[in-house]
Amino acid sequence: MRKWLLAIGVALGLSTLAQTGKLEIFSWWAGDEGPALEALIRLYKQKYPGVEVINATVTGGAGVNAKAVLKTRMLGGDPPDTFQVHAGQELIGTWVVADRMEDLTALFKQEGWLQAFPKGLIDLLSYKGGIWSVPVNIHRSNVMWYMPAKLKEWGVTPPKTWAEFLATCQTLKRKGLEAPLALGENWTQQHLWESVALATLGADGWANLWSGKLKFTDPKAVAVWETFGKVLDCANKDAAGLSWQQAVDRVVQGKAAFNIMGDWAAGYMSTTLKLKPGTDFAWAPSPGTSGIFMMLSDSFGLPKGAKNRQNALNWLKLVGSKEGQDAFNPLKGSIAARLDSDPAKYNAYGQSAMKDWKTNRIVGSLVHGAVAPESFMSQFGTVMEIFLQSKNPQAAANAAQAIANQVGLGR
Amino acid sequence: MRDRITAFLVLLPSLVAVGIFVYGFIGQNVWVSLSDWGKNPAQALALRPELRFVGLENYRELFTGFVDTRFRQSVVNLIFFTLFFMGGSLGLGLLLAVALDRGPKGEGFFRTVFLFPMALSFVVTGTIWRWLLQPQGGVNVLPTLFGLPPLGFPWLTTRAQVLVFDWNQLPLYTAFVVGLVLLYLGWQAHRAGEGKRRFWSLLSASVLLLWAFTLGRHVQLLPYPEPHGFSLALVGVILAAVWQMSGYTMALYLAGLRGIPVEVLEAAKVDGASEWQTYRHVIFPLLAPITLSAMIVLGHIALKIFDLIFAMAGLDYAPTDVPAIYMYLLAFRGNQFAKGAAIGILLLLLVAVVVIPYLASQLRKEVRR
């Protein structure tokens, strides 16, 4: 009798709770970004109260430390149930080619995500006929930040092209602004480079660079470094010692006029510095890139051999849902990857980015893992160092091409 | 006999553990460094990566490959860092020890103050010094306290290099330096009257120097000149490292100074030695073994330095790069595991060059006793 009761109890428990067990979520979201992840986890717990969620966070901006820990775990045969990864080649070039991920195409079809996400994004997530991760948010890389009041004071307008930018830079230098462009440590310099490259090559040229159709040593690509060198002349000389926040601070304090940074800068200025988007600080696409949305995205994938596969699949469903994305993104300071999210939940910057996300041409970021594999990306820092040391566009282009050949870019 | 068996049995667990976890993994690392792990992205992080043997290809790339110029700069950085860090710590440590040995007021207090930095971790030291060395603040504004203009040196953010040389000249310089060292050893053997040692040292020295001045000039590692030099950005790092470790050398030297028998010093005084002569001919020679121990300790710290630079300048800043950092970048960011392993082996060899002669001489001494 008791056995029967137990069996019925278990059966009832299973059908009401549907899921039990554990779910380990591996990410690098801590500190400022922690609350956004927690909101998503709370939502998950409401839906699946029987599941114990393990929030395995490894701190360090852009996942610098988390990625190393993840590699050790994966090599040791102990994958987390799902992990955060930059959507695109950072996932594909490292984990998909090594046959460590499950194809999620079926999930995308079942949830109707092929229509919910823009096609440009789906293309960046796809490789060899599969779709490999679920994007939770979208950040924009090619944004130029400035203080409208300061620009008015100096009598300049935000430049629309790099030629205009260089002219504006000279004007500002004459007015006694030593470094009109605020710049930070190495990766922010690479970040600036990708905006210059996108403007110089155009969206198609940029895509061709990563598919291997356009060589780095092509005169058009070498020209990127030439422009980049001129732009660097407008920047502060102590860049290497500044974090991206400190570079933004220079603009806020009026020591510099412009900063090119991803749109997490909007979150920093509105949340941390309490500035009002649109009035205290303003933004424009980085020079020469209007109509193009250079995106990067955090996404979650499903590694082969995940111990709690069904729980992980439920997590992915939540991550891709409208409900999940609108809970996560307003807190994170990013926008939803979906096209149907609710603008009322976002601030002025978010609303403007959402409009661009729906209408602009979408391309992927290099520095943030969308278009090139890690083997290229990590050595691109060396290319940057070669250029900064030698100031020689051809040398930098040669080095970039040598690395591209070595890692088999576009193959 | 039974004693021997028990001794062996007692030692066995640690022998096995060390055999597997130290030498076994060193061996595995050697094998990885001779493989192509990471060249093919499909194998790099596969569940069971298939490695192919490629011989010394990874090492060749590091020293002569086009894209690994950053590794070469990091080696140059490491050498300069080690030299200046050891010199600075030993010099400052000796100075402090001599000053404290003369028994000033508050000796115990100062001894503790000077020794304290050693209790910090390199990460803490690095973070503090990064703030102190900000171009617009910290150390640079110190002179304004005395009404002087602030310093303009950009410390960690400079890209300037001094003592620049062409990488192609490296074999030449190496042969030259090693030759000089051998000459010096020969000279010592000559003074000690050890004929056999004198002969071999002089012979190998002359062969090396002869090679350096004839064939060595025509060795071309790279088809183009590649300048490397001492990055001035390292000055700040060296400053922080010396600040941290000079207290340690001070403690060593102080112990040494206290260990010198009073009779010896008094005998020197009776012989009419001046204070400087006492230091030069009595105290410093007696401190030589301590200098050697300190050099070994500092040397291997310097060669393995990672955390201090990580905290001060980050991983991505080539002017302060050292091989350990480049190894981390290649292996854990770029998935180039084989090349990372090769750097690891090179670092092991470098440390071995410093430590093994010391251990050997210590062992020999013990046998003699």
What digits encode the pLDDT tens for the residues A78-122? 999 999 999 999 999 999 999 999 999 999 999 999 999 999 999
Do residues A155 and A43 share a domain?
no
Is A33 within the bounds of a domain? yes
Confirm whether A187 is domain-assigned.
yes
Question: What pLDDT was estimated at residue A8?
Answer: 52
- The verdict on A149 and A120 lying in the same domain is no
B181 Cα distance to chain centroid: 18
Do A317 and A175 share a domain, yes or no?
A: no
Q: Is residue A8, in this structure, part of any structural domain at all?
A: no
pLDDT digits (tens, 9 = 90+) for A177-228: 999 999 998 899 999 999 999 999 999 999 999 999 999 999 999 999 999 9
Give B190-193 contacts, CB < 8 A, sequence gap 24+.
none
The SS3 call for residue B49 is coil
**A270 touches A277 (CB < 8 A):** yes
Question: Which burial class, exposed, middle or buried, applies to A210 when counting CB atoms under 10 A from its CB (0-12, 13-18, 19+)?
Answer: buried
Same domain, A30 and A160: no
Mean pLDDT of the A155-171 span: 95
Which among A94, A237, A381 is the nearest to B45, CB-wise? Answer: A94
Q: Are A195 and A379 in contact (CB under 8 A)?
A: no
Res B89 pLDDT > 80:
yes
From the list B45, B46, B70, the residue facing A385 with the nearest CB is: B70
Residue A100 lies in a domain: yes
Q: What is the mean pLDDT of residues A347-363?
A: 94
Residue range A294-315: mean pLDDT, rounded: 94
Cα→Cα distances A337→A110, A129, A290, A297, A367, Å: 17, 21, 20, 8, 19
| Residues A154 and A252 placed together within one structural domain of the fold | yes
Nearest one of B76, B77, B73, B38 to B58, comparing CA atoms: B38
In a domain, A262, yes or no: yes
Whether A100 and chain B come into contact, CB under 8 Å, resolves to: yes
CA A308/CA A107 separation, integer angstroms: 17
Residue linked to tokens 């111990």: A307
Nearest chain B residue to A237, by CA: B157
User: Which domain CATH number covers A287?
Assistant: 3.40.190.10
Mean pLDDT for all residues in chain A: 91
Are A276 and A356 members of one domain? no
Q: Do A90 and A370 form a contact (C-beta atoms < 8 A)?
A: yes
Q: Are strands A21-27 and A282-285 parallel, antiparallel or unpaired?
A: unpaired
In a domain, A151, yes or no: yes
Compare CB distances from B45 to A74, A382, A402 and report the shortest one's residue. A74
Asked if residue A154 and residue A82 are part of one domain, the reply reads: no
Q: Does A32 touch chain B (CB under 8 A)?
A: no
Percent of chain A exceeding pLDDT 70 equals 95
Q: Is A407 touching B (CB cutoff 8 A)?
A: yes
Instruction: Give the orientation angle of helix B69-101 with respect to helix B107-115, to 10 degrees.
Output: 170
pLDDT band at A291, cuts 50/70/90? very high
Determine the 3-state secondary structure of A106 from DSSP. helix
B5 touches chain A (CB under 8 A): no
pLDDT at residue A157 above 50? yes
- Please check whether residue A4 lies inside any domain of the structure: no
Could B67 and A399 be called an inter-chain contact, meaning their C-beta atoms sit closer than 8 Å?
yes
Which are the contacts of A4, defined by CB distance < 8 A and separation ≥ 6? none
Domain match, A80 and A154 both: no
Domain that residue A250 falls in: 140-293+368-407
Residue A87, amino acid: A
**Could A241 and B135 be called an inter-chain contact, meaning their C-beta atoms sit closer than 8 Å?**
yes
Gap between the Cα atoms of A382 and B67, Å rounded: 8
Q: How confident is the model at residue A12 (pLDDT cuts 50, 70, 90)?
A: very low
* Closest chain B residue to the Cα of A93, Cα to Cα: B41
Encoding tokens for residue A333? 């300071």
In a shared domain, residues A148 and A280: yes
pLDDT of residue A15: 43
How far CA A334 is from CA of A149, A360, B30, B149, in Å, comes to 25, 17, 45, 45
- Domain count for chain A, please give it: 2
Closest residue of B to A188, CA-based? B316
Q: How far apart are CA B318 and CA B305, in angstroms?
A: 15
**Tokens representing residue A308 in the block:** 């709690």
Pair (A219, A330) in one structural domain: no
Minimum-distance CB partner of A399 among B41, B66, B135: B66
Taking CB atoms and an 8 Å limit, are B333 and A68 in contact across chains?
yes
Across the interface, of A241, A304, A381, the residue whose CB is closest to B316 is A381
Question: For the complex shown, is ipTM > 0.90?
Answer: no
**For an interface test with B, which of A250, A255, A385 has the most B Cβ atoms less than 10 Å from its Cβ?**
A385
- Residue A127: partners with Cβ closer than 8 Å, 6 or more residues away: A92, A96, A97
Burial of B287 (0-12, 13-18, 19+ CB in 10 A): buried
Contacts of A97 in chain B (CB under 8 A): 41-42
61-90 in A: which are within 8 Å (CB) of B? 64, 67-68, 71, 74-75, 77
User: Does residue A400 lie in a domain region?
Assistant: yes
Contact between B208 and B182 under an 8 Å Cβ cutoff? The reply is yes
A52-65 burial, b for 16+ CB within 10 Å, e for fewer?
ebeebbbeebebbe
In this structure, are A186 and A131 located in the same domain? Answer: no
* Residue found under tokens 């789906």: A122
Cα–Cα distance between A89 and A371 in angstroms, integer? 5
* Chain A interface includes B157 (CB < 8 A): yes
Domains, in order of start, for chain B: 70-260+288-368 (1.10.3720.10)
Same domain, residue pair A200 and A220: yes
